[in-house]
Amino acid sequence: MVDTRVNLSGVILSNPIIPASGTFGFGYEFAEIYDINILGSISIKGTTRELRFGNEQPRIAETPCGMLNAIGLQNPGIDKVISEELPKLRKVFKKPIIANISGFSIDEYVYCCELIGKEEQVEIIEVNISCPNVKEGGMSFGTLPENAAEVTRAVKAVAKKPVYMKLSPNVRDIAEIAAACEEAGADGISLINTLTGMRINLNNMKPVLNNITGGLSGPAVFPVALRMVWEVYEAVSIPIIGMGGVSTAEDVIEMMLAGATAVSVGAANIKDPYASKNIVESLPDLMNKLGINKLEDIIGGAH
């Protein structure tokens, strides 16, 4: 019997598979088609202080090996997430929950992380620092190491749960930013968020997305994500949640060999709502085939 358990900062997951934030709603929607307790955890939809309707349509575009999205952090706001969405998820999901927090100022990150950290079933807070800092002209918090560290320190001062900083790949040196987050007190790192891209409609010769650009996800980004997980593993000593184009159990093993402790599945859930379930169910057979008895033993094993 193989052992698929992994340890994220003292939080034990029965397996490393986590549907990524923004691709699985608040989780309970998927409980209508299968028992979501098969999953290791769920990273719920990105949450901000206030209600957000997101960007104007169209905000999704297909690409040959993935998709572009410019949803714009649509969510009901932190108060409704706590009072309505989390209770709905608790009814059908008994495993640890990862809360994904976004913000447009450090005060907003702090406010949301302090509130969500009080929720009993939320075991980890994933902080998305790909958001534009409105006080600094719109540059992403995650673009510079010093800005990423500043958010990390502020959140760690109030959070009652482990804090994982979710990094953007649209930077010069992602390992440098991860190291800055670790030094500022981060308990773990999540990577990667989407790569910036666009499409143009040849019929009207205009950008497909109303926002012009969007985030590229899906199989096309997997080799980039794998390389960045590898680089960050070399730079930090805290756990990594790897993501970016993961769609098979084989991808999961690659991510873990590169340095990930757990693995998030994103765009694959949109293409196939059973994607995460299928990966969980196929992992043990793949482990047997590869002679892996305990998943934790292979973390960083390719280094």
Catalytic positions, written as ranges: 131
For 93-243, list the strands marked E by DSSP.
Answer: 97-101, 122-128, 163-166, 188-191, 195-197, 200-201, 206-207, 214-217, 240-242
Q: How far is CA 1 from CA 54, 202, 248, 256, 285, in A?
A: 46, 54, 21, 20, 10
Cα–Cα distance measured from residue 294 to residue 178, given in angstroms and rounded to the nearest whole number: 27
CB 256 within 8 A of CB 16: yes
Cα–Cα distance measured from residue 278 to residue 249, given in angstroms and rounded to the nearest whole number: 8
CB 26 within 8 A of CB 89: yes
Q: Please tell me whether residue 153 adopts helix, strand or coil conformation.
A: helix
User: Residue 118's CB: how many other CB atoms inside 10 A?
Assistant: 11
Q: Please tell me whether residue 262 adopts helix, strand or coil conformation.
A: strand
CB 40 within 8 A of CB 14: yes
Cα–Cα distance measured from residue 55 to residue 33, given in angstroms and rounded to the nearest whole number: 29
CB 263 within 8 A of CB 246: yes
Cα–Cα distance measured from residue 141 to residue 132, given in angstroms and rounded to the nearest whole number: 6
Residues 6+ apart with CB under 8 A from 204: none
Cα–Cα distance measured from residue 284 to residue 3, given in angstroms and rounded to the nearest whole number: 8
Residue 76's nearest CA partner among 97, 54, 99 is 54
